Amino acid sequence: EPIDLGLFLHDIIDRFEMIAQEKHITFKRKIPSKPTYAKIATDKMTQVIDNVISNAMKYSPEGGNITIALLHQGHQLQVSIKDEGMGIPRESQGKIFDRFYRVDKARARSVGGTGLGLAIAKELIHAHKGEIWAESEYGKGTTIFFTLPYYAMKEDER
Ligand code: ATP
Ligand code: MG
């Protein structure tokens, strides 16, 4: 059964909001109010989004903003999660989706994790026929993008 990806995102962000406040991190939501449907395994998609938001929080300074946007572009939905954190050096940007890869061992050690989160996210997004990638400027911030096929709801089911 297709679900409204916008509502799904709101629920996940709501769940993170309390912990984020402790680090003075503010979530900005750019999510259309009009329902946008996708066919997803909700437990798996929760795992993907949880990891990407956790990363954004882990690698962000106190007081940063995290902007979560949902765009509907033709047959695709695009989700982006943008932070104002430390960023990822260009040479590492292709590797962060590899199993156990963590940027700069010393830097990574100070923040917990195994380096599996994004590798799992990539597998799960591919299983949903989507793509996932990163754009980052070292020292300025990171945006993780992923796409999912849009599910056009039949008129009579609305
Ligand atoms: P895990 O998710 O398994 O707990 P992790 O967060 O270290 O561990 P990934 O989520 O796979 O692993 O991320 C891989 C690496 O990519 C991280 O260790 C970090 O170096 C880098 N990274 C991921 N997201 C960001 C981000 N938003 N800003 C800066 N660096 C990031
Ligand atoms: Mg992670």
Q: How far apart are CA 78 and CA 148, in angstroms?
A: 7
Percent of the chain with pLDDT over 70: 94
Q: Does the pLDDT at position 158 exceed 60?
A: no
Quote the pLDDT of residue 107: 67
Distance 104 CA to ligand 2 centre (A): 14
Q: Mark 9-46 as b/e (b = at least 16 C-beta within 10 Å).
A: beebbeebeeebeeeebebeeebeeeebbbebeeeebb
Q: What is the mean pLDDT of residues 139-154?
A: 94
For the chain, the residue count is 158
Query: Which residue among 50, 53, 55, 123 has the greatest number of ligand 1 atoms within 8 angstroms of its CB, and so is best to mutate?
Result: 55
Ligand lying nearest the CA atom of residue 115: 1
Quote the pLDDT of residue 143: 98
Quick check: helix, strand or coil at residue 147?
strand
37-48 pLDDT, tens per residue?
999 999 999 999
55-104 pLDDT, tens per residue?
999 999 999 999 999 999 999 999 999 999 999 999 999 999 999 999 97
Cβ–ligand 1 contact at 102 (below 6 Å): yes
Quote the pLDDT of residue 80: 98
